[in-house]
Amino acid sequence: MRHHVDRHTYDQVMVPAFSPADIIPCRAAGSRVWDQQGREYIDFAAADGSACVGHCNPDLLQTLTDQARRLWHPGNDWSNEPALKLAQQLCAATFAEKVFFASSGAEAVEAALNLARRHSLQRGHRDKQVIVTFNRASHGHTLMTSAAADPAAETSPLSGLFRQCRYNDLDALAAVLDDHCCAVLLEPIQAEGGVFPADPAFVRGARELCDKHKALLIFDETQTGNGRCCALFAYMKLGVVPDILTTGNGLGGGFPIAAMLCHSEVASSQSRGTQGSTFGGNPLACSIAARVLEQVSDPQLLQDVKQRYFWFREGLEAINRRFGLFLDIRGRGLLLGCVLKQEWHGRAGEIRRQAMTQGLLILTAGDDVIRFSPSLLIPREEIELGLSCLEEALAQLTAS
């Protein structure tokens, strides 16, 4: 029996943890998406940046097909070749010496937080368990990562593990970071928090303060990694090396996989049974991620991302000259946010919906920022076509 499904089906059978758009995508290729009715969209969202080399990338499709004929999942009692090869690639391309694989960015961040606290305990510092986080942060939706983003939440029994201060405020960080803190958790760009890039001086100061208080510096690069910010990882443009790094989203090009990277000295605090992930290191995911990593490590691709940034920037500035709706355009590489002026505060979702009616998929970052994280391979003509759709959407809204 074949069941008919549409957007209303979500409200009938799904836990209301999300509020999905009115359309249901059914097919995608590159930077284009088609819904159930066959309508076509230019995709400036790329599955929250996960589809970093485009939807249904032919190389990834071939890699998935080849691996699917060999081995799907052996379980955690065995390792597998794709996981080991991907770990070697990640270590060779970054500061890391050890890798832990997970299924989602939140799971990788949770592993990083657990490791930081265990690292402190292993060295006899039982009173050194607090982790410093920042306002507007977004690290996932597990119990611990939610508490990290909002330590003041009354619903979180873990809020006492965290202290929060203002992002990009070194004095505020110095005021809360002391010898009771085992780590600082930092996003190089707060993507969901409003597309706020970290000031390089702030990041350097955070590194110095962590060294002073013998705390680990953790970079959450779930959103910023895998070529999105004109480097394989954003830390490479900041001149600061973290102790632990988490990555997800684009690592698998849209296939579920995430990773925690760290130094050997930090990894030595982990032992059998202290951290796990049922599908972490899955051969299908790791084989795809290895191919993604090859593509996004290409210096020419990273240079092309920089060029695409300028095309987006020029187009968005031209739109703003016409409508005057943006207070600021911020971000790096192909992670961009347009901050709405005061009179348009609270209308980011409305712009997103109107853009969809014009054939463009975009994201929001709160109520006051529209966000773009397209494929790193998006052609110039599709950038221009998508920006035309956005311009028409804004024309419709400003005329009403």
* Residue 108, domain member (yes or no): yes
Q: Give dist(CA 320, CA 334) in Å, integer.
A: 18
* Residue 63, domain member (yes or no): no
**Domain final position from 262, 296, 330:** 296
Q: Give the H or E element holding residue 41.
A: strand 40-43
Q: Give dist(CA 109, CA 144) in Å, integer.
A: 9
**Domain final position from 253, 274, 296:** 296
Domain span at residue 323 reads: 7-56+299-399
Q: Give dist(CA 146, CA 140) in Å, integer.
A: 6
Q: Give dist(CA 161, CA 140) in Å, integer.
A: 16
* Residue 61, domain member (yes or no): no
Torsions phi, psi of 44, nearest 5? Answer: -95, 10
Q: Same structural domain for residues 142 and 200?
A: yes
Task: Say whether 63 sits in a helix, a strand or coil.
Answer: helix
Return the closest-CA partner of residue 5 out of 363, 13, 31, 358. 13
Q: What is the pLDDT of residue 159?
A: 66
Helical pair 380-399 and 348-357, crossing angle rounded to 10 deg: 120
Instruction: Please list, in sequence order, all residues whose beta carbon lies within 8 angstroms of the beta carbon of residue 268, skipping any fewer than 6 positions away.
Output: 122
Q: Same structural domain for residues 124 and 272?
A: yes
Say how many C-beta atoms besides its own lie within 10 A of residue 349's C-beta.
13
Residue in this structure with the two tokens 């016409």, named with its chain if needed:
322
DSSP symbol at 274: S
Q: Same structural domain for residues 169 and 79?
A: yes
Is the sign of the CA dihedral 19, 21, 22, 23 positive or negative? negative
* Residue 171, domain member (yes or no): yes
Domains of the chain: total: 2
Q: Same structural domain for residues 87 and 30?
A: no
Q: Give dist(CA 134, CA 149) in Å, integer.
A: 7
Is the sign of the CA dihedral 325, 195, 367, 168 positive or negative? negative
Q: What is the pLDDT of residue 153?
A: 65
Strand ranges inside 205-278, DSSP E? 216-220, 244-247, 258-262
* Residue 135, domain member (yes or no): yes
As beta bridge partners, residue 119 has none
Q: Same structural domain for residues 169 and 92?
A: yes
Q: Give the H or E element holding residue 356.
A: helix 348-357
Q: Same structural domain for residues 39 and 96?
A: no
User: Which CATH number is 330's domain given?
Assistant: 3.90.1150.10
Q: Give dist(CA 312, CA 336) in Å, integer.
A: 9
* Residue 1, domain member (yes or no): no
pLDDT tens for the chain, residues 1 to 400 = 567 888 888 888 888 878 888 889 999 999 999 999 999 999 999 999 999 999 999 999 999 999 999 999 988 878 899 999 999 999 999 999 999 999 999 999 999 999 999 998 888 788 889 999 999 988 888 888 888 888 776 556 676 789 999 999 999 999 999 999 999 999 999 999 999 999 999 999 999 999 999 999 999 999 999 999 999 999 999 999 999 999 999 999 999 999 999 999 999 887 787 677 888 889 999 999 999 999 999 999 999 999 999 999 999 999 999 999 999 999 999 999 999 999 999 999 999 999 999 999 999 999 999 999 999 999 999 999 999 999 999 999 999 7
* Residue 19, domain member (yes or no): yes
Q: Same structural domain for residues 108 and 38?
A: no
**Domain final position from 250, 280, 296:** 296
Q: Same structural domain for residues 204 and 313?
A: no
Distance between start and end Cα atoms, the chain = 46
Residue 203 · residue 240 · CB < 8 Å: yes
* Residue 158, domain member (yes or no): yes
Q: Same structural domain for residues 37 and 93?
A: no
Task: Say whether 357 sits in a helix, a strand or coil.
Answer: helix
Q: What is the pLDDT of residue 249?
A: 92
Cut 0.85: pTM above it: yes
Q: Same structural domain for residues 23 and 138?
A: no
Q: Give dist(CA 393, CA 389) in Å, integer.
A: 6
Q: Same structural domain for residues 40 and 158?
A: no
As beta bridge partners, residue 162 has 131
Q: Give dist(CA 140, CA 17) in Å, integer.
A: 13
User: Which CATH number is 278's domain given?
Assistant: 3.40.640.10
Q: Same structural domain for residues 49 and 174?
A: no
Encoding tokens for residue 243? Answer: 């102790």
